[in-house]
Chain A
Amino acid sequence: MRFERRARVPWSLAVAAPFAAIAAALALSAVLILAAGVNPLLAYVEMLRGALGSRLAVTEMLTRAVPLVLTGLAVAVAFRARLWNIGGEGQFYLGALAVAWVGHDLISGLPPAAGIAVLTFVGMMAGALLLSGPAYLRLRFGVDEVVTTLLMNFVVILFVGLMIEGPLRDPLAFGWPQSVPVDGAYHLPDLIPNTRLHIGLLIALAAAGIVWLIVARTVFGTEARAAGFNARAAEFAGVSLPRTIIGVALLSGGLAGLAGGIEVMGVTRGVTTTMSPGFGYAGIVVAMLAALHPAGVVAAAVFVATIFVGADAMSRATGVPSFIADVIVALALLTMLVALLFSSYRIRR
């Protein structure tokens, strides 16, 4: 048995791959649910009901999807250019912390729209700066960015812990480790009244559209793709590798930082070290399920958010621990990698 690369991946297969991967991940997770003594079908029905069964459930799910769209885009942009940004989690937290710090009282008195715009920019800058370090090290010394970005996640989360127990501690949080909150004027307005769903959803969707334009239509996007596939040929054709890689790093880090900033402005108000259930890491799954396509990222983010939100409801109804959500999402990444293999290669005997 051997694999032969397909000359062309049929369109139908490219679309079918993520669905097949998700089905396989759910089937595998069913074994664990069975082991927990629950009928998997029942558990999955509860999960769907918890995420999509009511208006409130849907808005909760979409609220959860917002940061996932942004971290997913961050990963998709970077991976397309073969810049392996595993540091979405750290960039998310640094973006969140920067927004809380600046938004608490440094820019008081601005009109709300202007303040939100400034904070959006601050969140992006924080993430962008964080990723530009590893990108520079790779360019200058050939340091593997997988290692540096991954390790920076832990450094940043410890730094956030330091700040919210120290200088940025919220004195009104009754001793809970939480940062000062963003000024109320700069909270993102609700998209649907009396729910937690905020206009961050629109920002995330707009970001997906802009990212698609950049990667698919601009000179920069084309050059970044060329540099990712064959750096030597790109350089021979006159593409500046340093400019391209730093550009991609700023965009990718910026998107992950934006995710953190928006989560603070839209949902949590202040920063805690547990505010992200792994949004940065889940962004990798989202981007892979989307085959790195910006439109696919939106769909994949909705799927992952459904699992995250649905698992809580399922856990309450059936007693299966909600950690099953992490298992499903992680398995979906593995099955997607297998599905990508099968869709780009054909098996020959």
Chain B
Amino acid sequence: MSTVLRLASITKSFGSVTANDHVTLELKEGEILALLGENGAGKTTLMNILFGHYAADEGTVKVFGKTLPSGRPRAAIRAGVGMVHQHFTLAGNLSVLDNVMLGSEPLLRVRSRRAEGRARLLALSERFGLSVDPDARVSGLSVGERQRVEILKALYRDARILILDEPTAVLARPEALCLFDTLQSMTRQGLSIIFISHKLNEVMAAADRIAVLRGGRKVAERTNAETSPEELAELMVGSRVTRPKREAHAIGAPRLVAEDVTVHLDSKPALKGVSFTAHAGEILGIVGVSGNGQVALGSLLSGVAAPETGRLTLEGREIGGLGPRALIAEGVGRIPEDRHAEGIVGELPVWENGVLERLATPRFARYGFVRRGAARGHAAGLIKRFDVRGATPEMRIRLLSGGNIQKLILGRVLAAAPKVIIANQPTRGLDEGAIAAVHAELLRAREAGAATILISEDLEEALSLSDRLQAIVGGRLSQPVAAGEADSRRLGLMMAGVWEELGNAV
């Protein structure tokens, strides 16, 4: 097999941070190479250099034997490199065909060659098994379909090397498996693929070769056959990371109780008569395939949405529809599903984000004025206690990595010693080190007697943390099962909505 791509000794620094340190990488024709590393290991920076979004400080990029001029995405496209970004770059108001053709035609051409474009798109979609409707509006497509459009967009521009940045971060498991099938069929037709990931099982399932980045350096390269998930985890993190284990302990009185609660989102029922009871010192896991009512449940428990019918009580007091501030005052701590969109205001400094939820409380405000000293001190304490790396109270929080932002949000919640914790996808998109830290904190809060609702799409996480589990399907909740009696098979059935015949509920 010939080498189609060679990155030689790429170095790139941002200020005092070295994102890539003399990284050398080769891609062979018809191969799937996985770029594995924790958040902040330099994977995305490396791919952005390859694609010309960034200019490297040192090193060269050779595609099909020719050196690419640095910092020119167009040159990379012309050389046959296509990139599928983690956050899609599609125009929602345009059709699939428009999105695919956009930018591929000379600006001054009088008429767009749509008929040819459509034929080409359909041929590509046929050839690679990426079915799409060329006339569908992108805003109406699912995430998986959008990703297909992104891939087609790259193929339309004659990409022969495809780079996918965390392609499965947004996909449910079946969609991810389907994507890997597609990638494999593409390599059989001569394409070469690099995909970025921090998920071990995924890398093992899909990649021919795996390059591990850590701290900006390439620390290892292995073929699929000669490595194991354990070895990769160790290479990726540097030392062996073990997720903390849940210890059995006595569970207390009922804390947060939902009885037959219905919630409407956009005036459609999204939660249909759900009931659950979370006890003190217990983690109640809510598992399910995404889009089955988790958003509505999260909104209800965060105080953003009010129940249409039914009761939601905390230690017997009705708290449904109280609103975020009142819920926090009642002792509810909330970890939002989307940390960037809901958890933080990126442009504000760390200290303001650290107290935003409790800005109006006497501890952080007097006569309507912010007690800046107290607020800054609080943030400094959070940074220290929860090991938020690289943070100072004054710095804009946007500059922190996802894992460190999550640690700050977690700290903001836990510092108030909440009675109830709502953890909505608390480790989505985090690397192993950060996941272990978040799990440890949630378990510590459980030890301290908090009742936790863990809404998670990650079965492994839900199984290892939860005392009891309920499945969410189509806006309804199953009966709870004890963690000891739940295995993946049984949970799989529950998540498919088959729970009536599963007797012995607890």
Complex Cα spacing A232 to B15, Å: 32
Contact across chains for A222 and B55 when beta carbons are under 8 A apart: no
- Tell yes or no: A349 within 8 A of B by CB: yes
Binding site for B on A (CB under 8 A): 1-2, 4, 7-8, 213, 217-220, 222-223, 225-226, 229-230, 232-239, 348-349
Q: Which of B54, B70, B368, B396 is in CB contact (< 8 Å) with A220? A: B368
Complex Cα spacing A208 to B179, Å: 58
- Tell yes or no: B341 within 8 A of A by CB: yes
Contact across chains for B53 and A237 when beta carbons are under 8 A apart: no
B357, B359, B399 pick with most chain A CB within 10 angstroms: B359
A230 to chain B, nearest CB (A): 4
Contact across chains for B341 and A219 when beta carbons are under 8 A apart: no
A230 closest partner in B (C-beta): B345
Q: Which of A229, A235, A348, A349 is in CB contact (< 8 Å) with B304? A: A235
B123 to chain A, nearest CB (A): 33
Q: Which of B55, B328, B348, B352 is in CB contact (< 8 Å) with A349? A: B55
Complex Cα spacing A247 to B95, Å: 41
B53, B345, B365 pick with most chain A CB within 10 angstroms: B345
Complex Cα spacing A268 to B430, Å: 64
| B395 proximity list for chain A (CB < 8 A) | 8
| B324 proximity list for chain A (CB < 8 A) | 235-238
- Tell yes or no: B302 within 8 A of A by CB: yes
- Tell yes or no: B370 within 8 A of A by CB: yes
Contact across chains for A348 and B55 when beta carbons are under 8 A apart: yes
Q: Known interface pairs A238-B323, A238-B357. Does A219 touch B365 (Cβ–Cβ under 8 Å)?
A: yes
Q: Known interface pairs A218-B369, A218-B370. Does A226 touch B356 (Cβ–Cβ under 8 Å)?
A: yes
Contact across chains for A229 and B345 when beta carbons are under 8 A apart: yes
Complex Cα spacing A8 to B334, Å: 30
Complex Cα spacing A237 to B335, Å: 11
Complex Cα spacing A236 to B301, Å: 11
Complex Cα spacing A244 to B360, Å: 13
B80 to chain A, nearest CB (A): 21
B336 closest partner in A (C-beta): A236
- Tell yes or no: B487 within 8 A of A by CB: no
Contact across chains for A229 and B347 when beta carbons are under 8 A apart: yes
A316 to chain B, nearest CB (A): 47
Contact across chains for B303 and A219 when beta carbons are under 8 A apart: no
Contact across chains for B325 and A238 when beta carbons are under 8 A apart: yes
Could you give, for residues 275-310 of chain B, a 1 whenever the CB lies within 8 Å of some chain A CB and a 0 otherwise? 000000000000000000000000000111000000
When A and B form their complex, which 8 residue pairs have the shortest distance between CB atoms, in order from nearest?
A238-B324, A238-B325, A236-B342, A237-B356, A230-B345, A229-B347, A237-B357, A226-B345
B71, B302, B370, B396 pick with most chain A CB within 10 angstroms: B370
Could you give, for residues 342-354 of chain B, a 1 whenever the CB lies within 8 Å of some chain A CB and a 0 otherwise? 1111111000100
A221 closest partner in B (C-beta): B370
A6 closest partner in B (C-beta): B15
| A232 proximity list for chain B (CB < 8 A) | 341-342
| A238 proximity list for chain B (CB < 8 A) | 303, 323-325, 328, 357, 360
Complex Cα spacing A230 to B396, Å: 14
Complex Cα spacing A1 to B54, Å: 9
| A237 proximity list for chain B (CB < 8 A) | 324, 356-357, 359
B357 to chain A, nearest CB (A): 5
| B356 proximity list for chain A (CB < 8 A) | 222, 226, 233-234, 237, 239
| B359 proximity list for chain A (CB < 8 A) | 219, 222-223, 237
Complex Cα spacing A328 to B347, Å: 32
Complex Cα spacing A108 to B342, Å: 54
Complex Cα spacing A226 to B368, Å: 16
Besides A222-B370, A223-B359, A230-B344, 6 other A-B contacts (C-beta < 8 A): A7-B14, A229-B346, A232-B342, A237-B324, A237-B356, A238-B357
B402 to chain A, nearest CB (A): 15
In the complex, 6 of the A-B residue pairs with CB atoms within 8 angstroms, ordered by the A residue number, are A219-B359, A225-B348, A226-B345, A226-B356, A229-B345, A230-B341
Contact across chains for B370 and A1 when beta carbons are under 8 A apart: no
| A239 proximity list for chain B (CB < 8 A) | 356
| A225 proximity list for chain B (CB < 8 A) | 345, 348
| A348 proximity list for chain B (CB < 8 A) | 54-55, 71
Complex Cα spacing A99 to B118, Å: 65
Within 8 A of A (CB), among B5-20: 14-15
B392 to chain A, nearest CB (A): 11
Within 8 A of A (CB), among B472-495: none
B328 closest partner in A (C-beta): A238
Within 8 A of A (CB), among B421-456: none
Complex Cα spacing A230 to B347, Å: 9
Complex Cα spacing A349 to B55, Å: 7
Contact across chains for A233 and B370 when beta carbons are under 8 A apart: no
Contact across chains for B345 and A234 when beta carbons are under 8 A apart: yes
B306 to chain A, nearest CB (A): 13
B357 closest partner in A (C-beta): A237
Complex Cα spacing A340 to B83, Å: 30
Complex Cα spacing A236 to B34, Å: 37
| A223 proximity list for chain B (CB < 8 A) | 359
Complex Cα spacing A236 to B304, Å: 7
| B352 proximity list for chain A (CB < 8 A) | 222, 226
Q: Which of A2, A213, A220 is in CB contact (< 8 Å) with B71? A: A2
A223 to chain B, nearest CB (A): 7
Q: Known interface pairs A225-B348, A234-B356. Does A349 touch B370 (Cβ–Cβ under 8 Å)?
A: no
A239 to chain B, nearest CB (A): 8
B73 closest partner in A (C-beta): A2
Complex Cα spacing A2 to B369, Å: 41
B15 closest partner in A (C-beta): A7
A248 to chain B, nearest CB (A): 15
Complex Cα spacing A213 to B352, Å: 16
Complex Cα spacing A226 to B388, Å: 22
Complex Cα spacing A235 to B345, Å: 11
B15, B53, B304, B356 pick with most chain A CB within 10 angstroms: B356
A188 to chain B, nearest CB (A): 30
Could you give, for residues 222-235 of chain B, a 1 whenever the CB lies within 8 Å of some chain A CB and a 0 otherwise? 00000000000000
Contact across chains for A236 and B302 when beta carbons are under 8 A apart: yes
Complex Cα spacing A233 to B344, Å: 6
| B369 proximity list for chain A (CB < 8 A) | 213, 217-219
